[in-house]
């Protein structure tokens, strides 16, 4: 059977969706359920919030604003180490605002573009950007999908959630920044050509910048469905072409994650084992971080949420779990695929595994200090 290149590309891109679709019949055989029960397993507020953020982030990306700001900073730098610091900080801050995957879709192509006009250690820069977005996105309720889900589930406000995540996000970013001198020297950075920037679309930029905080306020007030519907309507009327480039299959991936993992959590023996393992904040933190190494941090968050009494410990764990093995976070896979450099996969683990170990230890200490202070 001959498979066309287009189908092969789709299968490679949507492997997670295919796996989840294949698991659904198995889970329904293990835990029979009716359609209303399956629909009830989905956190529709999270799905709606994700849909709105995907559209708005795509708007900011295509407007050219982020690309232009990034280039303005980078062309003023003088050596490779300074560039690494700038890209890491830029990627980390950007991921806290427009999600980690969107940040990578901006910074990695920017790096590849700069590499065409200057001699750069591309693979290492991409790896550090992947580490940066895992750290930076941990800060914000909208920085990554697991935070978005746990924020909606926790019932906390935007500021409260951010303050709760600040210690671990700060520790993770400090660890990544501390490794930069070991990975990058002070070789002089000379850009021979600074052209190729994305054209600035002022109308799209203004609409996206205006709608973004309004949408976040709506989500924070509990109107995620109304907010997402409004965003989709505005962009469908004014920028319909943009909607075609949004990663809509990702929404189906989330729906299937909620259903499959919700059913998995109803298996009696597994539910009892997980509940016992999650006894206490420290245990929940460790289990979340380690389980993320096996099933990635988004599904780990969805699966463990019903068993966690301390949402902060769970959120810290799954965010730390984004380091370590590449499967720990989908952002890692996106960065490595976008980078496309030979040997980048094994090089990634040389940096990511030590960052995982250091972050896991730092988080455990911080969590113990916070609990002792509260006591």
For the chain, 375 residues long, give each residue's pLDDT as a single digit of tens.
567 777 777 777 787 789 889 999 998 998 888 888 899 888 888 788 888 888 887 888 788 886 777 667 667 777 889 989 999 999 999 999 878 877 887 788 778 777 766 778 889 999 999 999 999 999 999 899 899 999 989 989 999 999 999 999 999 999 999 999 999 998 887 666 555 566 889 999 999 999 988 988 888 788 889 999 999 999 999 999 999 888 888 788 878 888 887 888 787 777 788 888 888 889 999 999 999 998 889 888 988 999 988 999 999 999 999 999 988 887 888 788 777 788 888 999 999 999 999 999 999 999 999 878 665
How far apart CA 13 and CA 7 sit, in angstroms, is 10
Query: Is 0.85 topped by the overall pTM?
Result: no
The residue assigned the tokens 């559209």 is: 55
Pair 307, 327: CB distance under 8 Å = no
How far apart CA 89 and CA 332 sit, in angstroms, is 17
Dmax (CA) for the chain in angstroms is: 65
How far apart CA 253 and CA 258 sit, in angstroms, is 9
Q: Which pLDDT does position 16 carry in this prediction?
A: 76
The residue assigned the tokens 């604003």 is: 65
Q: Which pLDDT does position 276 carry in this prediction?
A: 85
- Other C-beta atoms within 10 Å of 102: how many? 25
Picking from 355, 237, 193, 197, the residue whose alpha carbon sits closest to that of residue 289 is 355
Picking from 242, 334, 249, the residue whose alpha carbon sits closest to that of residue 296 is 334
Q: What are phi and psi of 208, to 5 degrees?
A: -65, -45
Q: Which pLDDT does position 179 carry in this prediction?
A: 97
For 284, the token pair is 């929940």
């Amino acid at each position: 059977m001959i498979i066309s290149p287009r189908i092969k590309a789709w299968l490679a891109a949507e492997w997670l969706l295919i796996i989840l679709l294949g698991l659904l019949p198995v889970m329904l055989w293990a835990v029979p359920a009716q359609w209303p029960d399956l629909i009830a397993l989905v956190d529709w507020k999270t799905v709606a919030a994700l849909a709105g953020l995907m559209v708005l982030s795509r708007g900011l990306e295509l407007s050219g604003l982020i690309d232009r700001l990034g280039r303005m900073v980078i062309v003023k730098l003088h050596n490779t180490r300074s560039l690494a610091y700038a890209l890491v900080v830029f990627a980390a801050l950007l991921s806290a605002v427009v999600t980690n995957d969107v940040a990578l879709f901006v910074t990695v192509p920017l790096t590849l573009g700069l590499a065409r006009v200057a001699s750069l250690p591309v693979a290492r820069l991409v790896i550090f950007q992947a580490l940066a977005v895992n750290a930076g996105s941990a800060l914000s309720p909208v920085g990554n999908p697991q935070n978005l889900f746990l924020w909606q589930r926790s019932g906390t406000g935007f500021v409260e959630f951010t303050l709760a995540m600040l210690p671990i996000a700060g520790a993770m970013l400090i660890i990544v920044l501390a490794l930069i001198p070991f990975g990058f020297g002070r070789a002089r950075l000379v850009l021979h050509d600074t052209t190729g920037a994305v054209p600035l679309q002022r109308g799209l930029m203004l609409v996206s910048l205006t709608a973004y905080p309004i949408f976040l306020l709506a989500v924070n007030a509990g109107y995620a469905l109304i907010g997402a519907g409004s965003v989709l309507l505005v962009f469908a009327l004014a920028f319909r072409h943009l909607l075609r480039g949004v990663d809509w299959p990702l929404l189906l991936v989330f729906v299937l994650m909620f259903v499959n993992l919700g059913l998995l959590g109803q298996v009696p023996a597994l539910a009892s084992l997980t509940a016992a393992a999650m006894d206490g904040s420290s245990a929940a933190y460790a289990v979340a971080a380690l389980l993320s190494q096996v099933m990635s941090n988004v599904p780990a968050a969805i699966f463990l949420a019903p068993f966690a009494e301390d949402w902060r410990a769970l959120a810290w764990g799954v965010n730390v779990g984004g380091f370590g093995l590449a499967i720990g976070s989908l952002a890692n896979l996106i960065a490595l695929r976008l980078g496309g450099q030979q040997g980048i996969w094994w090089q990634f683990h040389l940096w990511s595994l030590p960052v995982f170990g250091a972050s896991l230890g730092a988080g455990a200490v911080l969590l113990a200090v916070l609990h002792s202070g509260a006591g």
